[in-house]
Amino acid sequence: MAGAIASAMLFVLPVFAQDSRLSLADRVSLLEQRAQNKDQSGVAMVNQLQQMQSQLQQMQGQIEELQHQLQQLQDKSKDQYIDLDSRVGRLEAASKTGAAPASGSSAPATAGSATAPGAAATAAAAAGSAAAPAAKAPPAGNGKPLSAADNAAAQAAYDAAFKTLRGGDYVGASRDFRKFIEQYPDHPLTPNAFYWLGESYYVTTNYQVALQAFQHLLSQFPQSEKAPDALLKVGYCQYELKQVPAAKATLESVVSKYPSSKAASLAKERLSRIQTTAG
């Protein structure tokens, strides 16, 4: 019996040892496979990290470009506001000194009028005094002189549109100035209305429509006191519309036609900036 057990043990032990060795080998293989998988996962994570870093750098570059564009728009808007504010300020200063009313009604008469009503006549018409009929009232669109009441209404409509512009409501101002032009196409204030209509569009970066308003002023009222400023703004609009050669030619025309005007000084400044940008 003892011999049989001993014989059985001699047979089982090698088989058990062989199974143990195979199990150990499998375990080592499994560990190696796991290590390899971890290495692959690590490589994948590194690749993903590098890809994310690349995307982050691209996003940072885009953010910087957007910030630069935003700064340019802010600077442009600031320049436009300063320009408009300075012009309104000059009109107010002229009003305080008695040179012209705040609404800018010192514009000369149109070619169809013999003389333009002065500031006193305009004020008298607005007040409805008896002296108003003695002054040459501006003709209406049908060529007939305006009555004192109509002239006062025209002045009030212009003043209201100008007040809207000063208040920063450029959309409302453009609407009011268009209405004034439609109602009083031959009024002495019509050239000014065209100018401020163009300004209301220019400030809101609607350069194409602003250009049309300024050009209409120049073609219909070339002798207006607003002609130098309107020609200057034509050059500004052309530049904003990427019509650089035309803008330079227009600005140079401002300098040559109105050498002693404020518009000529501003034209020189803009020409210098264009030259610097081009260089």
**Percent of the chain residues past pLDDT 90, beyond the cut:** 43
Inter-CA distances, 97 with 15, 19, 83, 102, 166, Å: 120, 114, 22, 10, 20
Domains of the chain listed by start with CATH number: 106-278 (1.25.40.10)
Q: Bridge partners of 145? A: 139
Q: Bridge partners of 139? A: 145
Q: Quick check: 177 pLDDT over 80?
A: yes
In sequence order, which residues have a C-beta less than 8 Å from that of residue 170 and are 6 or more positions away?
Answer: 200, 201, 203, 204
Tell me: the pLDDT tens digits for 201-235?
A: 999 999 999 999 999 999 999 999 999 999 999 99
Residue 29's pLDDT is what? Answer: 77
Read off the pLDDT band of 93 (50, 70, 90). Answer: low
Contact between residue 253 and residue 231 where contact means Cβ atoms under 8 Å apart: yes
CA gap 74, 91 in Å, rounded: 26
Q: Quick check: 90 pLDDT over 80?
A: no
Residue 135's pLDDT is what? Answer: 31
What pTM was estimated for this model as a whole? 0.53
CA gap 36, 39 in Å, rounded: 5
User: What are 139's two structure tokens?
Assistant: 């003709």
Tell me: the pLDDT tens digits for 128-153?
A: 333 223 233 344 444 566 778 888 89
Residue 109's pLDDT is what? Answer: 32
3-state secondary structure of 226: coil
In 3D space, the residue among 250, 245, 279 whose CA is nearest the CA of residue 266 turns out to be 250
Tell me: the pLDDT tens digits for 165-175?
A: 999 999 999 99
Query: What backbone torsions phi and psi does residue 256 show, to the nearest 5 degrees?
Result: -75, -35
Inter-helix orientation angle 170-183/148-166, to 10°:
160
CA gap 231, 215 in Å, rounded: 8
